[in-house]
Structure 1
Amino acid sequence: MNDLTARLRKLAALLEEKGAELEGKSWNTAVTGFGKALAKFEGSAEDAAKGLAPGLRDLGKLFESPDKKLLDESVMKKLYKEILDARTPKDVTAAKMRAAFLTEVKKQGGTAAKKALNLAQEVISELKAPKEKPSKEADKLRLELHRLGMLADDDQREYELAKRFSDKADLKRLAQAAGLPVAKDAKRPALATAVLTAAKRVAAHTVPV
């Protein structure tokens, strides 16, 4: 931890001295990526300092986000069963189910919050994903790249890519739409990694119309 603190102080000093002079596309991309990673790290550090279980803060934010409307009674029943091994409270709204669920997850501690967050994100991704098969048109595939890049984190992106682009031919077309070189014998893991990197880059530099 002392080494990390020293590195951050050194970086802060460098940015204070030279930050105004730094510019360029690659630098802006690095700043965007670091900003997102730093925000996640700050949240984890604050949670640890407060003794909060990993994922609890993000789960609470998700339950208050616009996506909460997707977490209806049927979804909450799934969360209660798979995370708490319990049934939902009777005769209450989805909002009250979410509040009660968050309280119970907090009581459990451990990895319950992280598991709940991952499951909720997976369900939301499935509900928001286009129902039709991936398009073969480059313009539409670039929109898919943007949508992937805008997902909350790498876990969600990997899950979505594996589920929606399970067909290697579809994955290759997505890679080509991203401007990536695709060899005939390209291996899926390397291709998926390159596509996910491209998706984050597209999302960082594209303003949706």
Structure 2
Amino acid sequence: MEGIADQRPLFGGAFSAVLPPNIQDVSDLREIPDNQEVFVHHDTDQSIIVELLEYQKGMSDPDAARYHFEDIAASNDAQGRAEVVSVEPLPLAQLSLTSCSSAWTLTGHQLVSKFNEQAQNTVTIHMALFRMQQYATDLLVTFNDPVAIDPASSSSSGSGNASPPWTIDDFHRLLCGFQLHDPGVFG
């Protein structure tokens, strides 16, 4: 698992993606919903979440990306403490996932408290939204990258970052290498 990124089956092999090094599958630690794959970095508070969500019809692609960002903000109790920095198309020619009609990236920031603590950490949220209308699915990939940890947060007592943190290049490699192998995953 150390070093070179590896192609990993997701959702029981229905998808695969190139995941970054130093990754731990959260399903080895706790129950994860069937529509999610959740991974954390061994030594940082970074995480990557892959979700199969209901297709948000009736809204533009950039608005759907913002909708999903706001939904994450609500889940993180970061409403009013979340800001979208950019929403941009991800060129389909760069992607291995040929079954999406469009792909968008969103970058934003959220102030997030872990475990209902009062201390708030600033987290950069990098999202990619793959619109798959034919399957009534929005495939959402989220890279949570803490950029400022409050000294009072339980996150501040990390292991000293023994291994390098993931980068935006790691995230783009994951996005560009994402593949669908079994459309039966959509039901």
Q: Relative contact order: is structure 1 or structure 2 higher (C-alpha 8 Å, sep ≥ 6)?
A: 2
TM-score category, normalised to shorter length: under 0.3
Q: Which has the higher helix share?
A: 1
- TM-score, scaled to structure 2: 0.25
| TM-score calculated relative to the size of structure 1 | 0.23
Q: Which has the larger radius of gyration?
A: 1
